[in-house]
Amino acid sequence: MAVPIAVLDCDLLLYGRGHRTLDRFKLEDVTDEYLVSTYGFPRQFIYYLVDLLGASLSRPTQRSRAISPETQILAALGFYTSGSFQTRMGDAIGISQASMSRCVANVTEALVERAPQFIRFPEDEATVQSLKDDFYGLAGMPGVLGVVDCTHVAIKAPNAEDLSYVNRKGLHSLNCLMVCDARGVLLSAETHWPGSLPDCTVLQQAALTSQFETELHKDGWLLGDSSFFLRTWLMTPLHIPETPAEYRYNMAHSATHNVIERTFRTIRSRFRCLDGSKGTLQYSPEKSSHIILACCVLHNISLEHGLDVWSSPATGHMEQPEEEYEQMESMDSEACRIRQELLLTHFS
């Protein structure tokens, strides 16, 4: 009696029955050097992810339940760090390209579920003060709780004709709003905004703005570049500095804000699926947004585990479109007063 081909899993067709081939790749059989070069991370980091995500990846309702959490995580890390579903990688861990795609989806969702655990602002006073001290140590800018900026990640054109994802360079992208601390740890990441939205509009509509205007830290501020409006909780550079104090303020602002540019470079370099060198993310905007957020979670976990070497710029296509900075000066009198007090108190 013939068995309908539709009920057979791709791995069964390629590798035969049983679970052994699905799990034939064992972490203990290879060196750390091989794991880092192929999957981007050392053995102990991968073991940590298995412990963290194992329960989610073993859910009996998932089609890939026969594939171990360890193998699913390796497949996902291989994609995140290389940007492609290369057959040789699937062969190395014993699964098909189709199953690799499912593994990436499963691991991505498991990481996204844990984003609030790893990407968040500190709340206790001691940690908040430590955050400010770290920033002050960079260039003498006081009261800084984080630096904020946007970056674009290229995606394929949505199936439906949707110009909202076409950015100023004529490419389809997501405009991602992120905040980091002085070490590059992400404190906030909103990865779903359409590429056509300018940075100031993204911030205006973001959950981040609601948080800072209604509940978060009244005794400090974020630093943003000239693509944003000055706010009571967001200090921007002076458009045309005139006095020595204003020049000193702008220099300290620029040196401190540069941390997030370095963070973007590190993320692009570590997670090549985002840097454009392998082409655009071949997913819907929603799934692409989840992949970006999953990489952000992994970025923070890697810093937590001491994998915090700043990387050189990647040669990709993630550069954000230029903004028209001239229109960004704020008429918020209270925000102007706070910035002027900052100038007089710390930079005069």
Domain count, the chain: 2
List, in sequence order, every residue forming a beta bridge with 88; answer none if it has no partner. none
277 or 264, which is more confident? 264
CA dihedral 334, 337, 342, 343 (to 10 degrees): 150
Distance CA 252, CA 142 (A): 10
Domain limits at 95?
32-57+66-117
Residues 154 and 302 in one domain: yes
Distance CA 202, CA 155 (A): 18
- Domain annotation covers residue 25: no
Residues 96 and 151 in one domain: no
- Domain annotation covers residue 211: yes
- Domain annotation covers residue 187: yes
Query: Which of 270-274, 301-305, 320-324 bottoms out in mean pLDDT, i.e. has the lowest?
Result: 320-324
Q: Predicted confidence band at 41 (pLDDT cuts at 50, 70, 90)?
A: very high
Q: In 25-172, where do the E strands start and end?
A: 144-154
- Domain annotation covers residue 70: yes
Q: Predicted confidence band at 218 (pLDDT cuts at 50, 70, 90)?
A: low
Residues 221 and 78 in one domain: no
User: What is the pLDDT averaged over residues 332-342?
Assistant: 92
Residues 138 and 274 in one domain: yes
Residues 73 and 136 in one domain: no
Please tell me the predicted confidence (pLDDT) of residue 26: 75
Residues 127 and 96 in one domain: no
- Domain annotation covers residue 51: yes
Distance CA 41, CA 46 (A): 7
Residue percentage of the chain with pLDDT more than 70: 79
Residues 178 and 75 in one domain: no
Residues 277 and 186 in one domain: yes
Residues 79 and 145 in one domain: no
- Domain annotation covers residue 178: yes
90 or 208, which is more confident? 208
Per-residue pLDDT at 87 exceeds 80? no
The tens digit of pLDDT for each residue in 242-261 reads 999 999 999 999 999 999 99
In this prediction the pTM is 0.87
- Domain annotation covers residue 243: yes
Residues 260 and 281 in one domain: yes
Instruction: Using alpha carbons, select from 193, 145, 23 the residue that is nearest to residue 92.
Output: 23
Per-residue pLDDT at 321 exceeds 70? no
Block residue for tokens 């909780």: 233
List, in sequence order, every residue forming a beta bridge with 180; answer none if it has no partner. 147, 186
Residues 255 and 141 in one domain: yes
Per-residue pLDDT at 76 exceeds 80? yes
- Domain annotation covers residue 93: yes
Mean confidence (pLDDT) of the chain: 84
Q: Which amino acid is at 313?
A: P
Q: What is the H or E stretch that residue 173 is in?
A: strand 173-180
Distance CA 57, CA 50 (A): 9
95 or 90, which is more confident? 95
> Which residue, of 82, 117, 152, is where some domain finishes?
117
The tens digit of pLDDT for each residue in 167-182 reads 999 999 999 999 999 9
Question: Interior CA angle at 147 toward 146 and 152, to 5°?
Answer: 135
Residues 156 and 299 in one domain: yes
